[in-house]
Amino acid sequence: MNIEIALLLGQDGLTNGAIYALLSVALVLVFAVTRVIYIPQGEFVAFGALTLASFQVGKTPGTLWLLIGAGVVVALVDLSSALRSGQRRHIPRIVGWNLAYPAVVAGVIHLFTPAELPLLAQIVLSLALVVPLGPMTYRLAYQPLAEASVLVLLIVSVAVHLALVGLGLLFFGAEGSRTPAFSEGSLSVGSLTVSGQTLWVLGASLTLIVVLALFFERTIYGKALRATAMNRTGARLMGISTVMAGKLSFLLASLIGALSGILIAPITTIYYDTGFLIGLKGFVGAIVGALSSYPLAAAGALLVGLLEAFSSFWASAFKEVIVFTLIIPVLVWLSLTTRHVEEEE
């Protein structure tokens, strides 16, 4: 291996690693707040990328039907519980978010021809369509089980993952999609050429991480999420509802997932089931951070990206094996160094 190849592989590894880092941060967030191991995170990566790709070829993405359908189900569930407990003041909000909002998104898609819109507008529209599916998933699959054990929640995650992969196949078919790069051109530094999309991925990931850090450190809602993660009862006694915290963390996670998919779609061909493997690599990073430390998770995820890039050069047939084997020494180390944490208080 010479220095040029090493630089190229390093660039590759950092680009993928940045995406894994974003996903690992989302996984840590969701686990800390809700104790859910969020396997379906990967499906949001695929949904984001494939929704954008559908817009670009002039098709209506199937995720729109999912948004409308899930909205109707959530509205029915929430309305019936609001009526039963006599809390009519929640009705406008329930109708607004679950029925009116999907209708507005559908209307926008119908009125404008998304294929002719500028890329930025297409991306915003894709996010507007995919991101609300996160909190809806929380409402339907996890909220009724808020008191269940981590294991039960994990099983639910597997089920949600399988259901969403199936829907992905139904919506987008078995063929993969690749979207055009955000911008033409590349950057040359000496003998190293960095593609424009790589810069977009690195820049966007870094920006998003900084924005997330500011959100958690500086805003009262960010602090409320951290408070729920630290002491759920304490947070409830401050009026921070566990449901609100859960929905907010799922909203952030699906935003991160969908945006990650959109960022890498010009680099990798995305299939309906590609998200799972990408999400798993983010998960390896999250495990390095013991599902609790954001910086360690992000660093672990970067390491996964680099390891993957270099092992694809040395032993490409074993690249996935090498990456996932990383989890074993980490788990051994964690089990030796951390005392067993009791579930919830």
Partner 1 sequence: MREIAPVLEVEDLCVSYGKVEALHHANLMVGAGQIVTVIGPNGAGKTTMLSAVMGLLPCSRGQIRFQGQLRSAAEVEEMVALGANLVPESRALFGEMSVEDNLLLGAFTRYRSGDRDSAGTMEEVFRIFPRLKERRTQHAGTLSGGERQMLALARALMAKPKLLMLDEPSLGLAPLIVKDIFRVIASLKDTGVAILLVEQNARAALQVADYAYVLETGEIALEGPSRQLIDDPKVVESYLGLGGRH
Residues of the shown chain interacting with partner 1 in the complex, contacts defined by CB under 8 A: 85-87, 220, 223-224, 226-227, 230-231, 233-241, 345
Q: Which residues make Cβ contacts (< 8 Å) with residue 68, sequence separation at least 6?
A: 102, 103, 106
Distance between CA atoms of residues 111 and 16, nearest Å: 36
* Identity of the residue, 175 or 345, whose beta carbon is nearer to partner 1 in the bound complex: 345
* Residue 174 or 220 having the CB closest to partner 1: 220
- Nearest distance from residue 244's CB to partner 1, in Å? 8
- Measure the N-to-C terminal CA separation of the chain; round to a whole number of Å: 52
Please say which residue, 227 or 256, places its beta carbon nearer to partner 1.
227
CB nearer to partner 1: pick between 60 and 242 = 242
Return d(Cα 282, Cα 84) in angstroms, integer: 41
- For the bound state, the minimum distance from the C-beta of residue 315 to partner 1, rounded and expressed in Å, comes to 41
Nearer to partner 1, 85 or 337 (CB): 85
Q: How far is the CB of 75 from partner 1 (least distance, A)?
A: 20
- Kindly state the smallest distance separating residue 73's Cβ from partner 1, in Å: 22
Least spacing, CB of residue 224 vs partner 1, in Å: 6
Nearer to partner 1, 180 or 234 (CB): 234
- Residue 36 CB, shortest distance to partner 1, in Å, is 21
For partner 1, the closer CB: 59 or 236? 236
Residues 6+ apart with CB under 8 A from 45: 23, 257, 258, 260, 261, 264, 270, 274, 275, 278, 279
- Minimum CB distance to partner 1, residue 218 (Å): 10
